[in-house]
């Protein structure tokens, strides 16, 4: 999926891009959940094609990065939570619940740590696919 945005800041090889809602967002009943504070989002993206501030660009994310992010956010905490539940069933119901919650929380903490490492190395960031209108005011 690609989205259209405008570069508002560049620091090294990372750009901050302002994204306005797309056509699909305008008719979506859950639009307020995605953008609770307003219509415009600003995200960090890799700037490997040399775009400059005020350029209008298309951005996208690789399928591999998308799958890694989904696994870290949803898969890892659930798997560790289930492991905690299974270990806890050997003792009692309350142990199962407590260890399940601890496993889930541990999964979220690990996901946050891995995300921070990837962010510092710019591994999971979306990237600029194409410059649409160079240096539009």
Q: What does the DSSP assignment read for 37-61?
A: T-S-EEEEEE--S---TT-EEEEE-
Please indicate, yes or no, whether residues 8 and 57 belong to a single structural domain of this protein.
Answer: yes
Q: Strand, coil or helix: what is 7?
A: strand
| pLDDT value of position 58 | 86
- 129 and 116 within one domain: no
Angle at 105 between CA 98 and CA 85, to 5 degrees: 40
- Read off the CATH number of the domain in which 17 is found: 2.40.50.140
The total number of structural domains that make up the chain: 2
Please tell me whether residues 33 and 55 are part of one structural domain: yes
pLDDT by position in tens, the chain (length 137): 678 888 888 888 888 888 876 666 666 665 555 655 556 778 888 888 888 888 888 888 888 888 888 888 899 999 999 999 999 999 999 999 999 999 999 999 999 998 888 877 767 788 888 888 766 55
What pLDDT, on a 0 to 100 scale, did the predictor assign at position 106?
96
- Domain extent at residue 40: 2-61+124-133
Tell me which residue of 5, 15, 124 sits closest to 66, measured CA to CA.
124
Q: Are residues 68 and 18 in the same domain?
A: no
pLDDT value at residue 39: 66
DSSP label at residue 105: H
Residue 40 pLDDT: 74
Report whether 55 contacts 133 (CB < 8 A): yes
**56 and 68 together in one domain:** no
Whole-number Å distance between alpha carbons of 93 and 77: 20
Whether residue 54 sits in one domain with residue 9: yes
Alpha helix (H) residue ranges in 44-92? 63-70, 76-88
Q: For tokens 């570069």, what's the residue?
A: 7
State whether 14 and 54 are in the same domain.
Answer: yes
Say what the pLDDT of residue 110 is: 94
Q: What is the pLDDT of residue 53?
A: 86
Site of tokens 């775009």: 51
In this structure, the answer to whether residues 90 and 105 fall within a common structural domain is yes
């Amino acid at each position: 999926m690609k989205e259209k945005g405008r570069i508002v800041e560049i620091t090294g090889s990372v750009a901050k891009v302002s994204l306005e809602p797309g056509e699909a967002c305008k008719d979506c009943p859950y639009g307020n959940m995605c953008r609770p504070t307003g219509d415009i989002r600003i995200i960090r993206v890799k700037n490997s094609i040399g775009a400059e501030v005020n350029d209008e660009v298309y951005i996208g994310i690789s399928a591999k990065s998308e799958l890694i992010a989904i696994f870290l956010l949803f898969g890892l905490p659930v798997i560790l939570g289930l492991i905690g539940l299974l270990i806890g069933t050997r003792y009692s119901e309350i142990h199962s619940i407590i260890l399940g919650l601890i496993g889930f929380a541990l999964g979220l903490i690990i996901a946050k740590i891995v995300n921070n490492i990837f962010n510092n190395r710019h591994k999971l960031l979306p990237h600029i696919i194409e410059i649409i209108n160079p240096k539009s005011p």
